[in-house]
Structure 1
């Protein structure tokens, strides 16, 4: 398999998924987008690769470059207990999570597009590695600048 398109199709068939189902595993990508991947028109973006890694243990390096193995042997745990622990850590802050997200949304709306992209990447990194939340929250604060009432770090 020499192309990304070949590997996407092989992955889908090995996992016994439809194009729609693979798109769902890739973070809600449409069937048409998966079809474009398989035909070599486009390639999966970073967010889709990470969603595939989280949902199915797909090795992004294999998908993009053919580097073995196809599937990571030790995918990150996605148990209900791990999810509950992450939610508890977020909601045990001084401010409710909904308030933090509203504040972030408000501040992102006034930021320039490059900053919005950087913040989006940082939020996705946090979702992959919650223990790094304090460092990531600090990086987001630096990107957005100080607010009159800065939010409590994620």
Structure 2
């Protein structure tokens, strides 16, 4: 492993807000999501999900929640919404006759940690594969609207 190249990558990385219209290879995207899923998590619960908005129609639907930033509809070929997902884990507990006990602030914190680590690992991998990335702060600001547009269930 060339540590100098890795150090240089981290020292020179930058957020990208202007994109080409090049389509993202679906297999590459799936592979990056799979690789990112190996990020460390709290108790290996993986309290996150990612929603992929890749069609123009999907990106246009979510664009108002991101203040119609141009990279959402006319820039990036894909918009990923990283979500804290306690719902999925509660379903797993129910199927396995286990008590989830996850309707509390501690569960939310677990989810925030898991989701953040997953999102950052995805971001790093994507950049290392030559893709530009930009976190949209509007995701936190407009989470209820994004949840509505994406038809997310409770606890996501």
Structure with bigger gyration radius: 1
Q: TM-score range by the shorter chain?
A: under 0.3
Going by fraction, where is strand more abundant, 1 or 2?
A: 2
Going by fraction, where is helix more abundant, 1 or 2?
A: 1
Q: Which has the higher contact order (CA 8 A, sep 6+)?
A: 2
